[in-house]
Amino acid sequence: MKVQIKRLSECPLKDGVEAYNRGFEGYFYDQSKTTETFANRFGLDGLSPEHSLIAYYEGRPAGIVLSGIKKINGEVIAWNGGTGIAKELRGKGIGKQLMNAALDIYKENQVKYATLEAISRNEGAIQLYQSLGFKLVKKLKFLQFNEPFPEGTFDTAANYHIELASPAELGKVHFYRHKTSWQNHKDNVNGGNAVILRDEQNEVVGYSLFKKFYKEEEVANIGLLQLEVASGREDRVDMMKTLLKHSFAPLDLAFQRTTVNTPEEDTELLELLGASGFKQWEEQVWMIKELHNT
């Protein structure tokens, strides 16, 4: 099979768009991109053309791996932001070739951990990644609620102080969750919002990280990326309620509210969201391969 693999930075942009659209044809959700929306992903998701790859089959773009590399909490992390192979060429080993080439780039850049997410139903992709040494670390939940909340939702008698912050400021929270999927990390949230919660003694006891999307100056979507509260306290649920109240405001309006990659072990948060009307609509797996060249 005549397959040539090139870095995206060496290829015309239109080839990247063609490779992406062919690679994600028939995917679970419409992933088709225009030139503009394809290019925008690199800034929004911290992806790098230099570290991304295109596979050409008989001279035509036929597959793609998008990657980002960044130092997070002192460790160099790589993220696979999408792997796709043209529909008629799947199952012929091109995906494995691309992934091995991507891993070589990661090693060149002293990456310690290669990470990716895959939809749980995508068994073929998960098997491919496992064959390359990726381990399934955890399951990640997507929940959604699109209606106005009933009056009093998330109310609590407890008294907390809310401090608006930038995502970068969450680094000063001693229990900030650094080990999280790429798009949920404070360093990779473009235009995100954050809230820090303090108790009556002015101690930091919680935070949330979220992103708001607007349409014609009205909130159209809020995606909750992280919500953490201090461990060992009896008022953990009250703290979560307070953070949710501020993260998903305004509560009396109907628009899409989503949790993004909420780890399955966050049982208290998931139960609270479920009791408030949220329903699961998707699940991903988070996979990591440790590279031993660092």
pLDDT in tens, 51-89: 999 999 999 999 999 999 999 999 999 999 999 999 999
Across the beta sheet with 193-198, what order do the strands follow? 3-7, 53-57, 60-72, 75-85, 113-119, 279-290, 135-145, 256-263, 218-229, 204-215, 193-198, 161-165
pTM for the model: 0.93
Q: Is the pLDDT of residue 179 over 70?
A: yes
CATH architecture type of domain 143-284: 3-Layer(aba) Sandwich (3.40)
* Residue type present at position 60: R
Domain ranges of the chain: 3-111, 143-284
Domain 3-111, CATH 3.40.630.30 — does that match? yes
pLDDT at 29: 87
Say how far apart CA 294 and CA 292 lie, in whole Å: 6
Over range 135-154, report the average pLDDT: 97
Within 8 A by CB and 6+ apart from 119, the residues are 28, 125, 282, 283, 284, 285
3-111 and 143-284 agree in CATH topology: yes
pLDDT in tens, 198-224: 999 999 999 999 999 999 889 999 999
pLDDT in tens, 6-64: 999 999 999 999 999 999 998 898 899 999 999 999 998 999 999 999 999 999 999 99
Nearest to 79 by CA among 70, 91, 89: 70
Using alpha carbons, list the distances in angstroms from residue 63 to 3, 19, 132, 198, 211. Answer: 10, 5, 18, 48, 31
